[in-house]
Chain A
């Protein structure tokens, strides 16, 4: 193999670009993030003849302005990496609209091949596209494809390789006319840029001039740094802006868009597209929409879909989740079997296996949820959901697309914030995404539910289910209210425009859905796994060290010896059970003493003076700190702290009685704890996932603000409750 050819795959969202990428590269692909941004980067290899081709999937964009991250990434990749060719994948049934991006590639001058995708739809609709004529008019290879079936993909890649070699890295930009007002100025600006050699090694001069007129932030900042040239260009643009405003009441930017669409129309109307009227696919989509976005049926159907998604995630996901958990339980048991009890065993079993098992246990949930989300996205329904929900969520500074992550996070109790946070990827608008991320953790996730059930059962006359219902309502209201506050303070900013495509409904490809799902799950395993392992060891250490001083440990040891001696002496088998219980009780008391003596216990005790305002003692403090590692830990830690021994979540009945009979516990305290658990810091795994979706700064912010909010709310409930309860 001589040379590796780099070919970029570009196109509008919903053009079938990803399906084409999957069809071309098969399983040989990898996903990562573009440096510094959250946009996904996918690469894959394919061999054509003797040549190795590296295909880079650029983010889907409608244009090449530098407004969104996606657009900037796509553009920077093309000009900085200079791939040998770019394949523009367009939806042939909406050719005019999709050529808008293609035209911008042509203006940039990069060697380009046009893939007329979804040709099967075009043929069915009775429309005809004269591919040869189009190829001639655009002066580039044009290939008909159907990415879903793989039709034309061989020809496409072969032609791309041939064309890339023929062009041999030369860029030829086309110059289209922007009318009598802009053309002369563009010419002058291009001449000036040429003369001063401003960025001419990267961009064609006329293209730079166009970007200046469009007010492109990135190019302008380059110009400002270059000094004089920037100033001159700015002056020229200002002058033409004033002229356009005065004579035509419009902006150069608008004129440029007009002329681009004009150029496209001039191409497509030269007998390229001959329509026989019927537009079946859209008509079919319209018919579905008449039902699915109907005023009454639409929302009902949507609630059904959301509920089904939820049930699917947590009932189907629970099965393999059970296997993963069972595997780790078995592993823990096996390791405990051949190591001797002690610190090392505790580290491996409780710290490492417990920590990693906890993380990997989520993988099945994440996969099932992404299967669902990928399906909803690829089928086109997700866009309809956003369309229907937007009006309501907009009030709170959120976006129509926010509803899904909320539901998955526990908007219906029992969800989980980890897949919810990953689900925010469907939100393209950065501010709304952040607001969604920051308020998701209020939802009653599956790990918080046992706490609510325990306290609800013990202190609210067994009405745990009603308590859970009101908690859920409270969680939604809090999330909306907080989101509203955040969007008017720290995440301030205009609502992102809702100019959104409603793609025609289509059946997603199974391959595409599975590839998506696996990519995301693998990213989660890889990145979250390593980091969380370290933290779970730290937390284990905080709850273990320093260990009980020898003299105190000896007291328990002596007690145990006495009971053992009694047990050995008593031959009555009926009494054996009593002795066993006696020993377990001593073990539990030792565990309680050890926990109080550990670093976590000491912190818990030292926080008492503060947390007593909300009614929490050192035991609750430790449980809540443990809950930061994983909310599941709260009930089991409370069990240890109240010397109930290890408790599993389902079997907290003993603890419930114990709390009910404890004079320090009352409804006031229970309510305060419920409020705190509902609101305080998301668990550690969520925080790590959140940092991946936004930044560590925002993840840290979420930990602090939620905890402070939780404390204030709990304190208010506890102190205020004095007068009511």
Chain B
């Protein structure tokens, strides 16, 4: 197992959210959308300019910007 920031994940890579550090409005939006610890996420794509990123979790697809992904730490299976 390896911990890294959501921004560093590759397309098609999956992992489990370990912590969400965002506070305030951003934190609330992230949590309202279901990005809470122990949730499994998969990166499904990146926009043409590599930002924002599209994620799959809880049977739906979500997009967020890289600088927003920075607040989220994910645990991914080691290589």
Contacts and interface: CB of A to CB of B under 8 A. Distances in A.
B63 A498 contact: yes
A383 B68 CA distance: 18
Interface in A269-318: 279, 282, 285-286, 289-290, 293-296, 298-299
Nearest to B31: A257
B59 A498 contact: no
Given A254-B27, A261-B36, A388-B47, A498 B52 contact: yes
A427 B28 CA distance: 19
A409 interface: no
Q: Which of B29, B35, B68 has the most CB of A within 10 A?
A: B29
Contacts of A394: 65
Interface string B38-79: 110000110111111010111111111100100000000000
A526 to B, nearest CB: 35
A214 B68 CA distance: 20
B34 A282 contact: no
Interface in A51-103: 62-63, 65, 67, 91, 93-97, 100
Contacts of B32: 62-63, 65, 100, 257
Q: Which of B26, B37, B59 has the most CB of A within 10 A?
A: B59
A251 interface: yes
A261 B39 contact: yes
Interface stretch (A355-363, A500-508, A614-622): A500-508
A498 B64 contact: yes
B59 A93 contact: yes
B45 A388 contact: no
Given A62-B33, A387-B54, A391-B50, 19 more contacts: A65-B32, A96-B59, A97-B57, A100-B32, A251-B27, A253-B27, A282-B60, A289-B44, A295-B48, A299-B48, A390-B52, A391-B51, A498-B65, A499-B33, A499-B62, A499-B64, A499-B68, A502-B54, A503-B61
A497 interface: yes
A258 interface: yes
Nearest to A259: B36
A392 interface: yes
B62 A94 contact: no
Contacts of B2: none
B49 to A, nearest CB: 4
Contacts of A251: 23, 27
17 contacts: A91-B60, A95-B59, A100-B34, A250-B19, A251-B23, A261-B39, A282-B60, A296-B48, A387-B52, A391-B51, A391-B52, A497-B30, A497-B64, A497-B68, A499-B30, A500-B64, A502-B54
A504 B56 CA distance: 11
Given A388-B48, A497-B29, A94 B54 contact: no
Contact of B61 (A62, A282, A294): A282
B42 to A, nearest CB: 10
A285 B59 contact: no
B71 to A, nearest CB: 10
Contacts of B51: 390-391
Interface residues of A, number: 47
B4 interface: no
What interface size band does chain B fall in? 35 or more
Contact of B59 (A254, A279, A289, A298): A279
A63 B50 CA distance: 29
Interface of B: 19-20, 23, 25-39, 44-45, 47-52, 54, 56-65, 68
Contacts of A96: 34, 58-59
Nearest to A257: B31
A295 B20 CA distance: 29
A67 B25 contact: yes
Contacts of B20: 254
A97 B27 CA distance: 17
A172 to B, nearest CB: 24
A451 B1 CA distance: 66
Given A388-B47, A390-B52, A499-B30, A285 B58 contact: no
A501 B33 contact: yes
B52 A501 contact: no
A391 B47 contact: yes
Contacts of A502: 54, 61-63
A213 B56 CA distance: 29
B62 to A, nearest CB: 6
A261 B57 CA distance: 13
A392 B44 CA distance: 21
Contacts of B19: 249-250
Contacts of B49: 391-392
B67 to A, nearest CB: 9
Contacts of A93: 59
Interface in A491-528: 497-504
Contacts of B52: 387, 390-391, 498
Contacts of A249: 19
B44 A286 contact: yes
Interface in A28-46: none
